[in-house]
A and B are shown apart, each in its own frame.
Chain A
C-alpha cells in the first residue's frame, strides 16, 4: 500500500460536512477488499464491518475517523457589472485569515472552479486595510456572467477547497483536509494489516459524517452499532515555531494516545501496551475535559462505551497547508492493528476490573 497515494486520493476528494457522499464512495472502494459489509447510514456515515475469527457472538470494536472536512456554503449571489459573485459562509471551523486567495470548487448543478477574491488592500477603506478580511469582503469568483451563475448555482450549495497534496522533502506531506483524511488513511492501513493477521473481535470501521460541526456521526453510529469498545482517531496539534506547549507533538515522533476524562483509562493502558509490545514510539496527550473529537460522542452513547483516542500530529490545522508526517500515519495504522489483534474475550472483564483496583 502506498500511503502517499491513498492520502492524496482522500485529501483531494471533496467532502465538506453535510455533503460526504463523494468521499464516502472513495473510502468504500478502499475498504471494500478488507471488510464483510459496507453501508451508509441515515446521517451519511460510512459503516464497514470486518468480522473477527472468534466464535460468534463476537465482541465488537468501533473505529471512528471522521471523513468530513471544513468548507464553505453559498449564502447569497450578487451581481457586479453583469458578472455573478458568490458570498459564502463557513461550514465548520474555518479561519477567515486562511481562506483569501484560495482555489475552490462550487458544487452547483455542475462543479464550477472558482477563486476566493477580494478588493486589493489599497482599494479598501482605510480602517480595513490592515485587518483580516471578513465574510462581507470576500467573494467566490467563478468567472461567469450573472445569468449563468444564477442558472448553475443556488443559495445553500456547498463550496469545497481545492488543493493538491504536496510531498515535501523527506516524509512530510502538506495539503487540505489531512484533518481527518490522515486518520482515514491510518484506518485503511490498519484494515490492510489485519487482513494478514488473526483477530477475534469484529471491527466496525466508521468514517463519520459531520464531525466538524457537531460530532454527528460519532453519536449516531455508536448508538446504532452499540459496540463493546471504541477508538476515535483524529489529528492533534503538531509542534512548530511558536507551538511548543506540552500538548503539541513532534511530527514524525509517533502518534499520541490520549488521556483524560474523555477516554477510558483501561483503553489508554491497552493502547499503550500495544505500542510498547512493538516498540512503537507514542506520546501521551491530555485533555482535562472535552477532547474536541469523535471520542466525546462515542463515550456517552447508549449505556456508555469504553473509548480510547489516538492522535496524529498535524501543523497548521484547518488551513490548506496542513502538514503531517507519513511515518506517523503508518505508525497509527500499525498501532491500531496491534491493539486489535491483542483483544480477547477477557478484555472487557479486564477493563472493568481495572476500574475497581485501588490506585
Chain B
C-alpha cells in the first residue's frame, strides 16, 4: 500500500485543480468498477454494483489538498499569493511549493522584528528563481500545492496531503478487496473539500444515497501539550461521533462499532473539536442520509509533514470492507 500512498501524496492537487490526482486514481480503480464517471465539478464517481438487496451507499474521500494561488507578481519577480483552504502562516517560511507544471518555489517572508512571532499570510512571498516579472514562469491565478517527499518512519508514514490522499487510498484498497456487496456502492473521489466540502455536496445531490460515509483524517491528542483528545496514532481506526460540522447518525455509529468488534479491528471513538469532513454535506443533501465518517488519525494536519500510522490505515480499510460486505440495518 505504501507505493500507492507515495504516488498519491506526491501528486499535485490543490482544491479546484484535482485533475492530476484524478488521472492517477482512475487506472487504479478501473479494473474493479462497474461504471466510472467524472461529474461537472470534477468528482470521480466509481460505481460498484450490489446484488440488489442492500442500500445505496456513498463513500467520499477528497482528492484535493490545501495550497496557494498567485495574486500578484512584483517587478523583481517575487510571487505574492493567497491561501486555498486552511493554510497556516507558521507552516510556510522555508517550505516549498510546486505548480501544476512542476515549477518549484520557495516560500519566505518579510523581516519581522520579533523572531518569535509569525507574519500574516500577506507578508509572505514565493521565490521561483525569477529575476523579474518578465521571466517569471508562473502567472496570476496559478495554483500550487506544498511540495515534500513521502517518507516511511517505521510504522509511521509522513507526507504532505495525507489529508486526504490517505482517505483516497483507503477507498481504493477497500474497492480492491470488496469481492461482493449487497449494496450499490459509489466511491466518490471528491473535489474542493478544503474550500467548503463542495464536491461531495453535488455528488450527494446527484446520487441521493441512503448512507454516506466519509473517509478523512482526524486530529490526535498524543503530542506534547496537545489539546486533550481521546484519539492517538497507532491505536486503531477512528469512528467519528461528532465534529464541528455534523453529528453522525447514531445508528450508523453503532453499526460501525459492532462491525469493528465482530472482526476484532482496533478502533477509537472520535469527538473532533475542530474541522469537518465530506460527511457534512452528505448528511443534508436532498432528504438527508445516514452520515458518518471513518477517520484516519493524523498528526500535524495541514502542514507539509502530515503523519499517519500504517496500521491505522490498514484497520480503516478492514472496517470499511466489513461494513460494505454485510447488510446495513439502521
User: Do B230 and A43 touch across chains, with their CB atoms under 8 A apart?
Assistant: no
A141-B221 Cα distance, complex, nearest whole Å = 22
Partner of B253, one of A76, A77, A156: A156
User: Do B284 and A89 touch across chains, with their CB atoms under 8 A apart?
Assistant: no
Does any Cβ of B come within 8 Å of A224's Cβ? yes
Does any Cβ of B come within 8 Å of A176's Cβ? no
A84-B90 Cα distance, complex, nearest whole Å = 38
A224-B239 Cα distance, complex, nearest whole Å = 28
Does any Cβ of A come within 8 Å of B154's Cβ? no
| Chain B: minimal CB distance from A258 (Å) | 23
Partner of B250, one of A19, A76, A224: A19
Does any Cβ of B come within 8 Å of A101's Cβ? no
| Chain A: minimal CB distance from B179 (Å) | 28
| Chain B: minimal CB distance from A130 (Å) | 24
Partner of B271, one of A73, A213, A216: A73
A19-B273 Cα distance, complex, nearest whole Å = 18
User: Do B286 and A18 touch across chains, with their CB atoms under 8 A apart?
Assistant: no
Q: Return 23 A-B CB contacts under 8 Å, by A number.
A: A17-B247, A18-B247, A18-B250, A42-B289, A43-B283, A75-B229, A75-B273, A87-B228, A89-B271, A155-B268, A155-B270, A155-B271, A156-B239, A156-B241, A156-B253, A214-B284, A216-B283, A217-B288, A219-B284, A220-B286, A221-B287, A224-B287, A224-B288
Taken residue by residue from 35 to 52, chain A's Cβ proximity to chain B (1 for < 8 Å, 0 otherwise) reads as 000000111100000000
User: Do B287 and A41 touch across chains, with their CB atoms under 8 A apart?
Assistant: yes
Contacts of A42 in B (CB 8 A): 210, 249, 287-290
Taken residue by residue from 213 to 240, chain A's Cβ proximity to chain B (1 for < 8 Å, 0 otherwise) reads as 1101101110110000000000000000
Does any Cβ of B come within 8 Å of A285's Cβ? no
Does any Cβ of B come within 8 Å of A206's Cβ? no
When A and B form their complex, what is the total count of cross-chain residue pairs whose Cβ atoms lie within 8 Å?
82
Contacts of A221 in B (CB 8 A): 287
User: Do A76 and B242 touch across chains, with their CB atoms under 8 A apart?
Assistant: no
Contacts of B308 in A (CB 8 A): none
User: Do A213 and B241 touch across chains, with their CB atoms under 8 A apart?
Assistant: no
Q: Which residue of B lies closest to A297 (CB)?
A: B284
Partner of B286, one of A44, A91, A223: A223
User: Do A89 and B273 touch across chains, with their CB atoms under 8 A apart?
Assistant: yes
Q: Which residue of A lies closest to B247 (CB)?
A: A18
A43-B290 Cα distance, complex, nearest whole Å = 6
Contacts of A156 in B (CB 8 A): 239, 241-242, 253, 269-271
Chain A binding surface SS class: mixed
Assess A73 versus B290: contact at CB under 8 Å? Given A43-B249, A155-B230, A213-B247: no
User: Do A220 and B288 touch across chains, with their CB atoms under 8 A apart?
Assistant: yes
Assess A75 versus B271: contact at CB under 8 Å? Given A156-B242, A156-B253: yes
Interface residues of B in 77-131 (CB under 8 A from A): none
Interface residues of B in 239-269 (CB under 8 A from A): 239, 241-242, 245-250, 253, 268-269
| Chain A: minimal CB distance from B256 (Å) | 11
A7-B241 Cα distance, complex, nearest whole Å = 30
Does any Cβ of B come within 8 Å of A21's Cβ? yes
Assess A76 versus B228: contact at CB under 8 Å? Given A91-B242, A156-B270: yes
A271-B317 Cα distance, complex, nearest whole Å = 54
| Chain B: minimal CB distance from A35 (Å) | 20
Contacts of A18 in B (CB 8 A): 242, 247-248, 250
Does any Cβ of B come within 8 Å of A163's Cβ? no
